[in-house]
Amino acid sequence: MKKLNKKTISRQVPLYSDPELPPAKDDFRKTFEWRVFKIMSEFIEGFHFLADIKKTVTVFGSTSLPETNKHYQEARKFGFLIAKKGYSVVTGGGPGIMEAANRGCYEAGKDSIGMNIELSEGQRMNKYVNKPIGFNYFFTRKVMLSFSSEAFVFFPGGFGTLDEFFEMVTLVQTKKLGRKVPIIVVGLDYWGPLLKWIKDDVYGKYGAIKKTDFDIINTVANVEKAVELVLKLNTKKFK
């Protein structure tokens, strides 16, 4: 029988080997455990980022609307007007409506906050964000968006905006936010048909929601009314 010396042993058995760990050649960043830690780190970083930011309004809306669009201009005006009242503006940090709201806030000299999401096709942070943070997961970003503000203001948008709209409404409806945050929709041309369907069919035809659930959604025709509503619903909170 061949006698093994120390050199032979060190070549055959890796030092400090642990059967519970994946082989060294595997990328540990692709493991389930690493994903859990990454999610935890995004929550920790996000809450730490928001800890010192007070008195904010979150704006949601389409990434596709250009500067020439009337809703872009309305979102820009809202960002400016609400910033002049002492609020910072939070958005997803992307183009379109988000850029417009950040732009107005930036032009008014307040903290313009962007919570960007990393996408495979890429999504740049708009240039009017002066307080940025990035996320890998949509759900961690949405928690930060819901945690961050005293009011949610929705402009016209696509699937992402509608997803955020119904999630925020549900969070208020089920009292999962721990406070009643005003939800304001701007643009009757866009939101009118959707709200009519909810009233006529979701409530009227199917009885899937209660009549009192309509009180969660505040519809306004212009941004001046949206600003008035934010101030009115939050006056007591900031006295």
In a domain, 7, yes or no: no
Q: Which uninterrupted H or E stretch holds 218?
A: strand 217-220
Residue 236 has pLDDT above 50, yes or no: no
| Contact assessment for residue 150 and residue 57, using Cβ atoms and an 8 Å cutoff | yes
Q: pLDDT by residue (tens digit) across 141-154?
A: 888 887 778 899 99
Q: Which uninterrupted H or E stretch holds 217?
A: strand 217-220
In a domain, 12, yes or no: no
In a domain, 38, yes or no: no
Rounded CA gap, 101 and 36, in Å?
A: 33
Whether the full predicted model's pTM is greater than 0.85, yes or no, is: no
Which residues pair with residue 223 across a beta bridge?
none
In a domain, 36, yes or no: no
In a domain, 219, yes or no: yes
Averaged confidence pLDDT in the chain:
85
- Confidence at 218, pLDDT banded by 50, 70, 90: very high
- E strands, 14-169, are 56-60, 88-91, 112-117, 131-135, 151-154
| pLDDT higher at 207 or 125 | 207
Rounded CA gap, 92 and 117, in Å?
A: 7
In a domain, 13, yes or no: no
In a domain, 25, yes or no: no
Residue 165 is part of which domain span?
55-238
Rounded CA gap, 59 and 157, in Å?
A: 11
In a domain, 28, yes or no: no
Report the domain count for the chain: 1
Domain CATH number, residue 166: 3.40.50.450
